[in-house]
Structure 1
Amino acid sequence: MEEEVVGSTSSSSSSSSKFQLTFWEVTAAGGVVLGFMVGLLGVYLTMPASDYSFLKLPRTLEDLQILRDHLESYASDYTIQVLVGYCMVYIFMQTFMIPGTVFMSLLAGSLFGVLKGVALVVFTATAGASSCYFLSKLIGRPLVFSLWPDKLFFFQAQVARRREGLLNYMLFLRVTPTLPNTFINVASPIVNVPYHIFFLATVIGLIPAAYVTVRAGIALGELRSMGDLYDFQSIATLFLIGLVSVTPTLMRKSKLQHSIS
């Protein structure tokens, strides 16, 4: 089985390194981008006439604070437009692996509070991850083999070994920073992680980290650097939750080995 996996992977790697995509695959990806652009344009056209030079993807805490200060008044008067615009931007960033979604999570906490912010972040992150999953299933194989060959071999081997407890393993990956979420989104369809497992692990597994980030967004003015987001206690808590998620699988394997012996 391992020889079959490695053989197919190596052959796919050599052929996919050229990024050969069909016309219809490129057209589908372009259609997704166009759909997002049309949606964002619709949100922009329904907002009141104003100077929107402050609207840009935040790259620093200073950028985020400026964006928050301008959006606070719009969030109360034009709640639907702000929510739709926020969701589309977050999903777009997740779909196309654009860095900076952590800033969007902080913004959700700052604008909408903890409960609404966590619900919003989990919804948009899950929708964006799902969009990335299906887009990667269509055109992602060359990209994954080119950018993360070593991680892909590791992930593929782990998924093959943990088929019976795959949901627990995916939960562990979502809760802990063992593998980047971006990589998980793109690589999961390549290594045959079923979508229903991917979806459940994403919805449940993102809640702890979303809570930490959204809660920090409420005190946005007190953050001095992104390092303040995750202290030792927060990281240790996430790993503890991750270990709990894989405990049923470990216990099942232990019982199986004991019964065999």
Structure 2
Amino acid sequence: MRSLIGLAVVVTAATLYLYYLSLYLPAGPRRHPQPCPESVAFKKFGSDHSYLMFGSVRLKFPSDLEELRELSELLQFYKTEHTAYVLLLFCSAYLYKQSFAIPGSSFLNILAGAIFGPYLGLLLACVLTTVGSTMCYLLSQAFGKQHIINLFPEKVSMLQKKVEDNRDCLFFFLLFLRFFPMTPNWFLNMSAPIVNIPIVYFFFSVFIGLLPYNFICVQTGAMLSEVSSLDDLFSWEHLLQLLAIACVALVPGALIRRLSQRRLKLAVQSQNGLDSDKKVQ
């Protein structure tokens, strides 16, 4: 009971912080930013009336691509004079989602690419994913161990067995789970302290293992911020860019699979439907 109360206090405090951070926006830009042909935000919010009403906008997590696009345009425009605030708001929202295992991080990765560009966006996505997942690890360790075991006894038991089977090459095993997620990332984040995964291994496996996923999302966001229509998105130039992004993102996973195929023991389905331990081929 005490652990639930502690977790409720942490969630409430974090929620109130994020709510007031998004509610009390600083004053909107008072002058027009320099027009840029690639800036979708300027096209949409280029009137004086929009400047005056900008401070009353209510921000929320995007739930679909349309909301994501609108939020991206809004924050790109707002960033012209309030870069520090937009950065603080984005980091706070990202850590909130990751720390409490709330779905939707892919939207925020795409948003990072659209707002901050492909390089800073990728750095932010990787760092925030790692820090947020580690905070989820610590929250689970402090408040949630027994509750997670009670909710997912079979999954925790199976993960514990796999961790013990691969204890001598644990870091490669964790990378394999991130590149080829047999277990959802949110569950792995919460159950890692229960199955005695060291936090250092956990931290770096998240940073490296989710790099391809973050790369794809951020590059997609950076690309979407530069187009004004679907016809532009499906031009040969952008299709080739998407193909190159996909190929680059597949390379780390292929290397990890190659290096670990003789070392990791994973459960596969046999012909009679029972689980059997085999090495990755």
Shorter-chain TM-score: which interval?
0.7 to 0.9
Contact residue 25 and residue 138 of structure 1 kept, 8 A: no
Structure 2 unaligned spans of 5+: 29-54, 265-281
- Mapped pair 1:47 → 2:51: no
Letter in 2 for 1:101: S
- 2:256 corresponds in structure 1 to 245
- 1:128 corresponds in structure 2 to 132
Contact residue 174 and residue 202 of structure 1 kept, 8 A: yes
Tell me the distance in 1 between the aligned counterparts of 2:85 and 2:95.
15
Alignment counterpart, residue 157 of structure 1, candidates 153, 158, 161: 161
Alignment of 1:1-261 (within 5 A): 21-22=1-2, 26-27=5-6, 29-31=8-10, 33-35=12-14, 37-38=16-17, 41-42=20-21, 44-45=23-24, 47-48=26-27, 50-53=55-58, 55-220=59-224, 222=230, 241-251=252-262
The structure with the larger Rg is 2
The more displaced of 27-36 and 71-80 is 27-36
Change (3 A) 1:232 1:151: farther
Percent identity among equivalent residues? 31
Q: CA deviation at 1:93?
A: 0.7
Q: CA deviation at 1:38?
A: 2.9
Change (3 A) 1:114 1:183: same
Q: CA deviation at 1:76?
A: 2.3
Tell me the distance in 2 between the aligned counterparts of 1:128 and 1:33.
17
Q: CA deviation at 1:106?
A: 0.5
SS at match of 1:113: helix
* Larger RCO (CA within 8 A; separation ≥ 6): 1
SS at match of 2:80: helix
Change (3 A) 1:153 1:134: same
Q: Any idea what the Cα deviations from partners look like across 1:13-51, whole Å, max 9, x if unmatched? A: xxxxxxxx32x6523551354146336635754621612
Q: CA deviation at 1:66?
A: 1.0
Structure 1 unaligned spans of 5+: 1-20, 254-261
Tell me the distance in 2 between the aligned counterparts of 1:35 and 1:99.
17
Q: CA deviation at 1:74?
A: 1.2
Change (3 A) 1:199 1:218: same
Q: What CA RMSD, in Å, does the superposition of the two structures yield over aligned residues?
A: 3.0
**Matched residue count:** 227
Change (3 A) 1:111 1:238: closer
Q: TM-score, normalized by length of structure 1?
A: 0.76
Q: TM-score, normalized by length of structure 2?
A: 0.71
Q: CA deviation at 1:160?
A: 0.5
Tell me the distance in 2 between the aligned counterparts of 1:39 and 1:56.
10
The more displaced of 145-154 and 194-203 is 145-154
SS at match of 1:57: coil
Q: CA deviation at 1:147?
A: 4.1
Tell me the distance in 2 between the aligned counterparts of 1:154 and 1:234.
34
The more displaced of 44-53 and 99-108 is 44-53
Whichever structure has more helix as a proportion of its residues is 1
The more displaced of 74-83 and 150-159 is 150-159
Contact residue 18 and residue 92 of structure 2 kept, 8 A: yes
Tell me the distance in 2 between the aligned counterparts of 1:173 and 1:99.
18
Tell me the distance in 2 between the aligned counterparts of 1:252 and 1:84.
42
Q: Any idea what the Cα deviations from partners look like across 1:121-149, whole Å, max 9, x if unmatched? A: 01111111011000001122244234433
